[in-house]
Each structure stands twice: as C-alpha cells, then as structure tokens.
C-alpha cells in the first residue's frame, strides 16, 4: 500500500505527550526554558519560567547540552549567542516578534551612523544583527537601572521600543535619549477608554502594566514593570483584584501564585484577542515534543554576528 500525503506529513503523537517530553528531555540532557507569555500547558512542563532577563540568566548558566526555548526567536537567539556549542531548539521557527521586526539591522546601522558619539542601548527584543550593532542590551526589568549607570555626559541611542524608551526617560530624567520608533503590536493594542471603563466597574482593582504599553495606558497604572515584576507585585499586594495590561499568558502564573485573587485582562481596542501575542502562541506542546524528537528546528547565529552580539549581552548581565 502506498503512503498518502497525509500519512507522510501528519506526525503521530504519543498518548501521554507530557511524559514523552520528559523522557526526551532526559535522553537529550535538555532544559526547557519558557517565557510567561507561553500557553499554560507549556509553562507547566518548563524547568524555568521567567521574563527575558531571568531566561537569559538561566541560559547563561545552564549545564544542559540542549536548550529548548519556549519563547520567540530573539530569545532563543540570545541563548545561542551565550551557548554557541549547545543545540538551541525553538518549537516554531516562525515565532518572531513585531518589535524586533520594527528595527531592521541595515536601517538601524544607517540611523546609528548619524550619531557617532552615542552609546547604543538596545532592548533585548531585537535581532542578533541589531545586538551586534549595540553597546549594551537591556530588558524591561533592568532598562532603568542600566541607563542610570551611564554618565549624564554620555549621549544615548535607545532602541527599538519607543514606549519603553519614553518610560525610561521619565524614570531617569534622560530626556536627551534618541529613540528608535519601534513598538510591539500586542502592547499597543490596549484601549485607554476601555481600561477606564473597566476600572469604573472594578474600582478596587489595581492596574498593572508592562512598560511596552503606550503612555495613555501607563498613566493609569498603579504599577509598571516587567512580567516578573508584575507577578511579584500581585503576590506581595494586599489587593484582591488586578487588571493586567500585558500579554495574558502571565495570568496563568498569577493564578498559581496567588490563587485567591482575581485577574482581569486589560481589553484590546476592537474586542479582539489581539492582546495575545500571535508569535508566542505559535508554540504548542505538540511542537515542543516534535522539536525534542527531531532535534529541530534549531536556532543558529553566524559566528561574526554572534561574537559581536555577545559583548553587549555580557555587559547587561554584569550591570543587572
Ligand atoms: P519581559 O520578558 O521583560 O517582561 O518582556 C516581555 C516581552 O514582551 C517579551 O517579549
Ligand atoms: Fe514581541 Fe510583543 Fe510578542 Fe513580546 S508580546 S514577543 S514584544 S510581539
């Protein structure tokens, strides 16, 4: 009997996918790192769940031979830059990032050339090529801390997120920073009007926002921080209700860490689910299994780029 196209292309999955993932993980000596924006079932099988900084720190110190990065491409790329000799897998190679895409390396090189005396601080949500053009990398949890360490006489370019850039300006007083005009489609989707309406319905709720949100949303926030900082806030807070203005994947951990509390995702402009990151959501448990089974897709960074991109990442890890 001839195999049909379907039998050739449709992978078969074991009945107990989670158990099969654990077995493959042991066989490969692999570690699974997952971002808070991943589906709950992926977070539940991860060895470490965290924000971009925490995940980079874990990637820098892992003893595993294989890293399965349940996140988006720039995160897996960062892990590969830190671990050139390890196999770094990503469940779906198409899991990109609108913010990273908003800063093409060639255009950024031309932009940077206009400011030859400026120090380039780039948010980790950028390609390896843009990292290679940068002096220091930062994440949403250490951007303010890093900019505060730069002498006031040293001019700065901050890329690629204009919203995080503006927030850092306000927190540090460095209004002279030159910003690249990039943004995240997910964090720019929140509606200020709907957020205010929601707050009227839930007057006791605290509004928590990620600094990638636009200024009109941030102005209403009781607390602004990275995903890890938002999680810590809900654990420590006496409040019982929270409106969450970031990707709702984080709510999975919030519910686990603070079971008696209520979490309301901040509404998007058009009643759509645009607050879910379409790139993060490309990853599934099935794709995690297949990536470990096939040892693919793997993320690679060409050596010249990798060597240049490593230095600004190491500076970030030292300055954090
Ligand atoms: P953090 O991981 O720093 O919280 O940033 C969130 C994000 O947008 C990752 O893409
Ligand atoms: Fe990129 Fe935004 Fe998705 Fe984060 S939420 S990965 S910044 S598109």
Expressed in angstroms and rounded, the spacing between residue 99 Cα and the centre of ligand 2 is 6
Evaluate: CB of 276 within 6 angstroms of ligand 1.
no
Structure tokens at 223: 């607390």
Q: Which atom of ligand 2 is nearest to the CA of 37?
A: 5
Q: Which atom of ligand 1 is nearest to the CA of 210?
A: 4
Evaluate: CB of 247 within 6 angstroms of ligand 2.
yes
Q: How far is Cα 46 from Cα 34, in angstroms, rounded to an integer?
A: 6
Evaluate: CB of 125 within 6 angstroms of ligand 2.
yes
Q: How far is Cα 126 from Cα 124, in angstroms, rounded to an integer?
A: 6
Evaluate: CB of 38 within 6 angstroms of ligand 1.
no
Expressed in angstroms and rounded, the spacing between residue 52 Cα and the centre of ligand 2 is 11
Evaluate: CB of 277 within 6 angstroms of ligand 2.
yes
pLDDT, one tens digit for every residue, the chain (320 residues)? 444 555 566 788 888 999 999 999 999 999 999 999 999 999 999 999 999 999 999 999 999 999 999 999 999 999 999 999 999 999 999 999 999 999 999 999 999 999 999 999 999 999 999 999 999 999 999 999 999 999 999 999 999 999 999 999 999 999 999 999 999 999 999 999 999 999 999 999 999 999 999 999 999 999 999 999 999 999 999 999 999 999 999 999 999 999 999 999 998 887 788 899 999 999 999 999 999 999 999 999 999 999 999 999 999 999 99
Evaluate: CB of 140 within 6 angstroms of ligand 1.
yes
Q: Which ligand is nearest to the CA of 247?
A: 2
> 3-class secondary structure for 212-238?
CCCHHHHCCCCEECCHHHHHHHHHHCC
pTM (2 d.p.): 0.94
Instruction: Please give the order of strands across the beta sheet that includes 206-209.
Output: 223-224, 206-209, 241-245, 262-265
Expressed in angstroms and rounded, the spacing between residue 276 Cα and the centre of ligand 2 is 9
* CB within 8 Å of 318: residues ≥ 6 apart: none
Domains and CATH numbers, the chain: 17-96+281-300 (3.40.50.10800), 99-185+308-319 (3.40.50.10800), 190-274 (3.40.50.10800)
Evaluate: CB of 92 within 6 angstroms of ligand 2.
no
Q: Which atom of ligand 2 is nearest to the CA of 97?
A: 1
**Angle made by CA atoms 179, 100, 309, in degrees to the nearest 5:** 85
């Amino acid at each position: 009997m001839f195999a049909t196209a379907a039998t050739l292309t449709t992978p078969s999955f074991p009945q107990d996918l989670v158990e099969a993932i654990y077995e493959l993980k042991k066989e490969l000596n692999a570690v699974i790192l997952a971002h808070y924006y991943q589906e709950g079932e992926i977070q539940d099988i991860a060895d470490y769940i965290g924000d971009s900084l925490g995940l980079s720190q874990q990637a820098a110190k892992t003893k595993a031979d294989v890293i399965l990065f349940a996140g988006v491409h720039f995160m897996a790329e960062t892990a590969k830059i830190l671990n050139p000799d390890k196999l770094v897998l990503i469940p779906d190679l198409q899991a990109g990032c609108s913010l990273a895409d908003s800063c093409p390396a060639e255009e950024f090189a031309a932009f940077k050339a206009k400011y030859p005396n400026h120090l380039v601080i780039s948010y980790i949500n950028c390609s390896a090529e843009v990292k290679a053009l940068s002096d220091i990398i930062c994440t949403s949890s250490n951007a303010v801390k890093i900019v505060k360490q730069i002498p006031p006489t040293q001019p700065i370019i901050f890329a690629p997120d204009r919203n995080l850039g503006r927030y850092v300006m306000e927190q540090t007083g460095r209004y002279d920073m030159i910003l690249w005009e990039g943004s995240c489609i997910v964090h720019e989707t929140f509606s200020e009007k709907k957020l205010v309406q929601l707050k009227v319905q839930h007057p006791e709720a605290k509004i928590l926002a990620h600094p990638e949100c636009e200024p009109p949303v941030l102005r209403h926030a009781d607390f602004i921080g990275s995903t890890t900082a938002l999680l810590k806030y809900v654990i420590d807070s006496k409040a019982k209700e929270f409106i969450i203005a970031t990707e709702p994947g984080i709510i999975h951990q919030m519910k686990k860490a603070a079971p008696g509390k209520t979490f309301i995702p901040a509404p998007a402009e058009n009643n759509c689910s645009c607050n879910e990151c379409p790139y993060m959501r490309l990853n599934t448990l099935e794709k995690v299994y297949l990536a470990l089974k096939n040892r693919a897709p793997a993320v690679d960074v060409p050596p010249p780029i990798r060597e240049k991109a490593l230095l600004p990442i190491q500076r970030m890890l030292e300055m954090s």
